[in-house]
Amino acid sequence: MKPIPFRIVATLAATTLVLLAAPSKEKRRGNTPEPTAPEDRAAPATSKSSHLWTASGGEKLEAKFLALENGIVTVEQADGKKVRFPLIRLSDEDRQFAEASKSAQPRPPMSQEIISKAAARLDESIQVSLSKAGLKPNPALGDAQFVRRVYLDTIGRIPTEAEALDFINDPAAGKRANLINSLLNSPGYTMHMYNWLADMLRVKDDYGKGAKAFLYEDWLKEQIAMNVPWNVMVRDMLTADGKLNVNGASGYLLRDAQMPLDGVSNLMTTFLGANVSCAQCHDHPFAEWTQHDFYSMAAFFGASDGFHEDVYRKTRKLAKSPELTQVGKGVVTQLLTANAYNLVDLPANRLKFPADYKYKDAKPGDPTVPELIRWTDTATENPAYKLTLTKPSQLRNQFAEWMVHPENPRFATSIANRLWKKAFGLAVQEPVSDLDDPDESSNPELLALITTYMKQAKFDLREFQRILLNTAAYQRQASEAPEDPKSWKLQGPVLRRLSAEQAWDSIVTLICGNEADQLLLRRGDDLQRTAIPEDQINIQTVKHMAEEMKENGTPLRGGGGKKGGGNARALALFYEGGRPQVRSGLLLARASELQQPAPENHFLRLFGQSDRLVSDTNTTDGSVPQMLQLMNGPVQETITSGSAAVAAALRAKSPADQVASLYASFLGRRPTSQESSRALAAMNEGLKVPDLAWVLLNSREFLFVP
């Protein structure tokens, strides 16, 4: 692999066309104090002076240190642009500088003692519910099972042979806690969390007609890489201003800019577990949501405007203009459409009750009045509800303040419950998108406890997960998922198939080893150059822009394309930290660092990656095409014809060692003596190391987390 860090340096020199500066964040922040985020976490030290960073390859970049988390350094350039790169790509000197800058920051994680106490308390609660039901917990996991599971749950891939064996052979007493800590602090954690969030937030490259959300994707990764607390991150998403091609944070709300009511429904479901989608059109048939409730909540977004049809029509007209035929319709829309996505606040709330409103509490066409929903009568005493409505342009901010408040009745519970599901395969209360009926919880005390811990961790998702992974409950054998989630007593995690992303990332690991953890996709920079003020959207600007991009060889499309890996080589140009290999048409980068979502016939989609149209729709169901892919497709071809795993096995001295090496690579364990002798017999009958690799790839055990 040819390392080419700091691709940004090359492209920055050509950035002469940023016609619109990033919007000032001051406007919103001015009126919004940040009571929810303690200073030590909300803002990493930004007062540091600029530093000249040098990559191991000699490239240089001048920027301020922002954060070092998960093995990723985030820096900020003089123009405010943030850049992330893997720590290991820095010169030794700069690596030390980054470590020193980090330790100067007042961001201590929770102590191991606090983590262990919290984990023990959770185990206690689980034990009580098991005893009540007369059930015993599942047996504890062996080290081999643990290492595979914890790699998958923290950094989203199986361990390499060396990683698995290092852990299994490590005699240290606290080795499990140590491994959890080191994995949560590695780049793979950012990738795995991003996949998880991308399913939940419906992250998508393409917002339609050429508008790309690359900056939003970069922004999300930045947030995870800097370990920004969840409440701060969500607040920033809901209060962001500006264009899709200028401000990454605005990408969340702009995702639904063309259907803002659906957007409100989505965010209520995602962040609060409030199942309001029915109430958008009529009173909920069996929950307590009325259509009036829905419109009163939606009113908080009634002054916001995201999709500007006038701008959109202007760009469509230009695309058809004969003077631009040379540039091409596709390129013109690519260049311009994102300008129609611009999150702004108008002076008035324009949302009205719909024309077919049929209840007595309002008439069709009545203006809506913003009102926060209350789940209990005591809500009036709750500090989250203490807000005074000022001007309509501040409605969104006030809503955000209420939503991410630690005392919001749902915000902490919702994310804690979701992370529980991430670790255990099933949430304490299912479905995670609907927490309206507390009777549906499998263990109400446990739900209350994890809510408390989420608040105590100050919405630091990494610390919260550290608690869950340190429980005895997590470190037990898996059980079959119960048919009724409410009856789940948590004997252990539920038996899961690898998610699409875990399966793909594991395969990439089998092929390239752990190198892919250091390859970071970054596509937002070129996009910023397409931000054009409305009055400058004309033929001349487009021509000028197109020419300039051509001169610089800017690949605008971001490596999109319908076919799986069809444009793999184009996409390969967009990585910080090196250039990924392309083999059998497969771009060997982690799932988070590929198109979002992956093309429809990509391995990822076959194995259930969501199409990102609807939240939480990753699936783990089987299908015939999956089997065909594993038995006959390019993945098995690449693995058998020359992968890191096969090469490692071929280096082993004896056939028995070869078998053992493959077992460690694929399954993170040693073969039983029976397995070993059966495999050796097959080798005597003519099967070779690549054939054994094929067999292990196709084994059910490979696809599941026992």
Q: Which of residues 251-280 bind another protein (CB under 8 A)?
A: 258-259, 262, 265, 275, 277-278, 280
Q: Indicate whether 601 belongs to the interface with another protein (CB under 8 A).
A: yes
Q: Indicate whether 286 belongs to the interface with another protein (CB under 8 A).
A: yes
How far is the CA of 695 from the CAs of 230, 425, 511, 692, 699, in angstroms? Answer: 42, 27, 16, 5, 6
One DSSP character per residue, 198-249 reads HHHHT--SB-STT-B-HHHHHHHHHHHHTT--HHHHHHHHHH--EETTT-GG
CA distance 197 to 603: 20
How far is the CA of 55 from the CAs of 9, 83, 94, 523, 689, in angstroms? Answer: 11, 13, 8, 20, 39
Q: How far apart are the first and last CA of the chain?
A: 34
Which of 26, 540, 621, 654 lies at the binding interface for another protein (CB under 8 A)? 621
The residues in 184-203 that bind another protein, with binding defined as CB under 8 A, are none
Shorter beta-carbon distance to another protein: residue 85 or 353: 353
Residue found by looking up tokens 């690519």 in the block: 334
**Core vs surface per residue 95-105: b (16+ CB within 10 A) or e:** bebbeebbeee
How far is the CA of 242 from the CAs of 27, 119, 382, in angstroms? Answer: 12, 42, 32
Q: How far is the CB of 277 from another protein (least distance, A)?
A: 5
Q: Indicate whether 153 belongs to the interface with another protein (CB under 8 A).
A: no
Shorter beta-carbon distance to another protein: residue 13 or 355: 355
The residues in 554-593 that bind another protein, with binding defined as CB under 8 A, are 562-563
Q: Indicate whether 95 belongs to the interface with another protein (CB under 8 A).
A: no
CA distance 310 to 314: 6
- Binding segment for another protein (CB under 8 A), chosen from 135-143, 234-242, 298-306, 678-686, is 678-686
Shorter beta-carbon distance to another protein: residue 119 or 696: 696
**Core vs surface per residue 648-679: b (16+ CB within 10 A) or e:** bbeebeebbebbbbbbbbbbbbbbeeeebeeb
Q: How far is the CB of 614 from another protein (least distance, A)?
A: 4
| φ, ψ for residue 669, nearest 5 deg | -145, 170
Shorter beta-carbon distance to another protein: residue 59 or 675: 675
Which of 452, 617, 650, 652 lies at the binding interface for another protein (CB under 8 A)? 617
Neighbours of 549 (CB within 10 A): 21
Q: How far is the CB of 452 from another protein (least distance, A)?
A: 26
- The contacts of residue 342 (CB under 8 Å, 6+ apart) are 242, 243, 244, 306, 308, 311
What would the two tokens of residue 132 be? Answer: 């009540």
Which of 134, 285, 347, 553 lies at the binding interface for another protein (CB under 8 A)? 285
- Binding segment for another protein (CB under 8 A), chosen from 4-12, 16-24, 127-135, 282-290, is 282-290
CA distance 388 to 350: 20
The residues in 312-331 that bind another protein, with binding defined as CB under 8 A, are 312-313, 316
CA distance 611 to 605: 8
Q: How far is the CB of 332 from another protein (least distance, A)?
A: 15
Q: Indicate whether 685 belongs to the interface with another protein (CB under 8 A).
A: yes
CA distance 397 to 418: 25
Q: Indicate whether 30 belongs to the interface with another protein (CB under 8 A).
A: no
Which of 309, 323, 381, 534 lies at the binding interface for another protein (CB under 8 A)? 309
Shorter beta-carbon distance to another protein: residue 75 or 667: 667
Shorter beta-carbon distance to another protein: residue 135 or 259: 259
Residue found by looking up tokens 């800019």 in the block: 257
Binding mask 201-240 for another protein (x = CB under 8 A): ----------------------------------------
SS3 state at 85 = strand
Give residue 470's Cα distance to chain centre: 22
CA distance 568 to 586: 7
Q: How many CA atoms lie within 13 A of 652 on its CB side?
A: 19
- Give which of 73, 67, 55 is closest to 6, Cα–Cα: 55
The residues in 629-668 that bind another protein, with binding defined as CB under 8 A, are 629, 631-633, 636-637
Q: Indicate whether 182 belongs to the interface with another protein (CB under 8 A).
A: no
Q: Indicate whether 306 belongs to the interface with another protein (CB under 8 A).
A: no
- Binding segment for another protein (CB under 8 A), chosen from 39-47, 307-315, 329-337, 408-416, is 307-315
By the 10 Å C-beta count (0-12 exposed, 13-18 middle, 19+ buried), 285 is classed as exposed
Q: How far is the CB of 322 from another protein (least distance, A)?
A: 18
Taken in order 630, 635, 639, 640, the sign of the CA dihedral is: positive
Q: How far is the CB of 627 from another protein (least distance, A)?
A: 4
CA distance 457 to 453: 6
Taken in order 85, 89, 91, 92, the sign of the CA dihedral is: positive
Q: How far is the CB of 380 from another protein (least distance, A)?
A: 17
Shorter beta-carbon distance to another protein: residue 99 or 309: 309
Task: Using DSSP bridges, classify how beta strands 496-497 and 704-705 pair: parallel, antiparallel or unpaired.
Answer: antiparallel
Shorter beta-carbon distance to another protein: residue 309 or 381: 309
Q: Indicate whether 378 belongs to the interface with another protein (CB under 8 A).
A: no
Q: Indicate whether 142 belongs to the interface with another protein (CB under 8 A).
A: no
Which of 109, 444, 585, 706 lies at the binding interface for another protein (CB under 8 A)? 706
Shorter beta-carbon distance to another protein: residue 155 or 318: 318
Shorter beta-carbon distance to another protein: residue 291 or 528: 291
The residues in 449-508 that bind another protein, with binding defined as CB under 8 A, are 480-481, 483-484, 495, 497
Q: Indicate whether 171 belongs to the interface with another protein (CB under 8 A).
A: no
Q: Indicate whether 293 belongs to the interface with another protein (CB under 8 A).
A: yes
Shorter beta-carbon distance to another protein: residue 83 or 635: 635
Q: Indicate whether 72 belongs to the interface with another protein (CB under 8 A).
A: no
Q: How far is the CB of 528 from another protein (least distance, A)?
A: 25
Q: Are 666 and 697 in contact (CB under 8 A)?
A: yes
Which of 613, 653, 654, 673 lies at the binding interface for another protein (CB under 8 A)? 613
Residues in contact with another protein, counted by CB under 8 A, come to a total of 81
Q: Indicate whether 409 belongs to the interface with another protein (CB under 8 A).
A: no
Q: Indicate whether 355 belongs to the interface with another protein (CB under 8 A).
A: yes
